[in-house]
Structure 1
């Protein structure tokens, strides 16, 4: 190979076309209202950067600049840097004043601020003076900020040891929650979930990050994803106190609260949130109670106490588990579903054959290293839910663009 290609743009011939496409897309969409249009424009912009960037620049950016940026932001979250920058309405502040407020060596802080400025994460307003931008301001909220320490302390040790773990397993995929890159990277016998249970601060950060993960994305019940009125509400019988929707493993109730807010006028049945004791204890019980959501302690590997509900909802549950454990989880729900009436709604990524979003591919790799699990293709979902669990997949609703789909299932009626 001629090494000179490392100093040449990766695809200079495509630059004029990409610039024309960017100009066309930018003028044809309301970028605040049209999420798909904005993401299309963003994808073209990334393609333009990839075409203009040389291989040498890509290597240095990914290996050096982005890792230095990530760890600097995580440190900034730890010490309150971004909250300090945001004080007094975000007015620009000199580095010595910031260092004094944080109890930081001013030389170290200057070097961090310079790099974060170079990476466009904060603004430099004059010599030795800095101010927040919208990204910086977002880091004053734990739902955005806590992703950095939770990845640094919880998720990165496993993926940073993936190469070593795979080399000891003849490069076979991990298929266990207790023998995988997570347990190897953390040198623990605990599964990732058990580790969270014994590290409450990391668990809190993880829950905050999961809340931030959902921001700005269409909910599963949005008309662009799943037609709730037609497929769920219209067929609800509301007899003998049967539940309308059970959110199994629903964390602190984000999805049910949003669902209630969207369909409050049409809702007539019970909404039930289920999760393990520690999660239910941390849920906003008063807020849930006001809107009539029942918060119930339940382990989804045990017998499902709510029988004959119209809908059972699993959001980002099955991607944490290998097929055999998924069969157990789904099996407990299947036992109480009314054939031809109850619906199992699996809210997960459905990996397409081409054009897969980076939001799905990065998560797939982390599911592998953290849990020995995976994101699934439509064929894999059908194999799991139909062939292994004995359900009928009624339809797969897959919106793409980094949004999870809905796999709608029922228990077949036996004639």
Structure 2
């Protein structure tokens, strides 16, 4: 198939009267759909083959060149350098190259990784000794021709390293994927979340491009051809449930935690002034799954008084095990009345972004009714989308959540939802771009 500018004949594009990619002012003059109106003559073909942001290149190169001495152990400095390198690559890339990258590599890389995971390929690769496709095919009982194609693409995408013709070694990335807890992200996303994301354009078009706000009628239901909400699917499918919990556990790894010193003043704001006995409740983790966060809190703040409670639905709480003796698992639906009254802290981590505003108001109102004025605090550990300069991790997650009729929120949006529930924001604590903030709330 050869493509050149112009009209189409017999499946081939030949030179014709389609302006060869040029856009000018004017209408279609009855010759078809109107062309976009622009103020000046634009040579789109020239733009498509030129760097996307040439003016940004010198400053980015200078920043990267002067960053040679940074410590890669400093996560904030490392991330700044990484983001600058990504920005430089994007600035140097032409629009045509960007179209190919966005259109071709995202889906194909995912498909190749998930196939390799299913075959167990990453577990058989080593960094110190190249493994041949023939050897890997025999070990994984797969077709060597198929495996060769998959491995070539993984090497082209730098997931693994090519050591010679049909020979490969591992990278840190592929070694990490060989552990189920990390690799589970790929089959989980393709079998569930992506169904809604890929259905999003059609859903929005069908619904007049209105913001989805009904979790029972969302892009996810359209993509999956089911009436079930995402979390219903997770609860009914043990494999998906495990994969989702694994992905959530690794998503937060290596990211600043509000419990760390320098983020939120835990001792000054929570521990000091706490008035409770050994059996009284200090913190309630609402919708806390199997207790990752309360366990982290107990490790980092062992002298915090009282007991900790982790709440979730009965089928989740049944799977909880190996908690510290001071942590109590409790079955609870946060859409109903909160049974623990007057705790020092009520805490939610990435819960409210799962639900539209009206359902968040119900959750928050139930907590407000249980709080003790002048004493109890509500801590909401969520993304706060900045007005400008939002990070791609935050905006990507927002689109994913849009597919189930929820989303990330700006400070203005958070203020509206929280204040409508009888609460007020005391302060929003943020330490790093692209990382969840801590929204500190009290009764209004």
> TM-score per shorter chain, which class?
over 0.9
Matched, 1:215 2:249: no
Give TM-score, length-normalised by structure 2. 0.88
Higher RCO (CA 8 Å, separation ≥ 6 residues): 1
The answer to whether the 8 Å contact 1:182/1:192 transfers is yes
Distance 1:339 1:114, change over 3 A: same
Structure 2 regions of 5+ residues with no counterpart? Answer: 1-41
- Identify the residue that residue 67 of structure 1 maps to in structure 2: 107
> How many residues matched?
402
- Identify the residue that residue 432 of structure 2 maps to in structure 1: 400
Higher helix share: 1
Structure 1 regions of 5+ residues with no counterpart? Answer: none
- Identify the residue that residue 333 of structure 2 maps to in structure 1: 299
- Where do 4+ consecutive residues of structure 1 move more than 4 Å? none
Q: The residue matched to 2:328 in structure 1 has which SS?
A: strand
Residue 358 of structure 2 is aligned with which of 319, 324, 338? 324
Matched, 1:9 2:51: yes
Q: Deviations over 1:213-238 (max 9, x none)?
A: 01111112123321111111112111
Larger Rg, first or second structure (1 or 2): 2
The answer to whether the 8 Å contact 1:357/1:400 transfers is no
- Identify the residue that residue 75 of structure 2 maps to in structure 1: 35
Equivalences for residues 351-390 of structure 1 within 5 A: 351-370=385-404, 372-386=405-419, 388-390=420-422
How far, CA to CA, are the matches of 1:298 and 1:45 in structure 2?
46
The answer to whether the 8 Å contact 1:196/1:203 transfers is yes
The answer to whether the 8 Å contact 1:242/1:307 transfers is no
Give TM-score, length-normalised by structure 1. 0.94
Equivalences for residues 164-179 of structure 1 within 5 A: 164-179=202-217
- Identify the residue that residue 63 of structure 2 maps to in structure 1: 21
User: CA-atom RMSD, angstroms?
Assistant: 1.4
Residue 275 of structure 1 is aligned with which of 312, 315, 319? 312
How far, CA to CA, are the matches of 1:226 and 1:259 in structure 2?
12
Offset of 1:291 from its aligned partner?
A: 4.3
Offset of 1:66 from its aligned partner?
A: 2.6
Q: Deviations over 1:189-219 (max 9, x none)?
A: 1111111122221111111100110111111
How far, CA to CA, are the matches of 1:292 and 1:340 in structure 2?
25
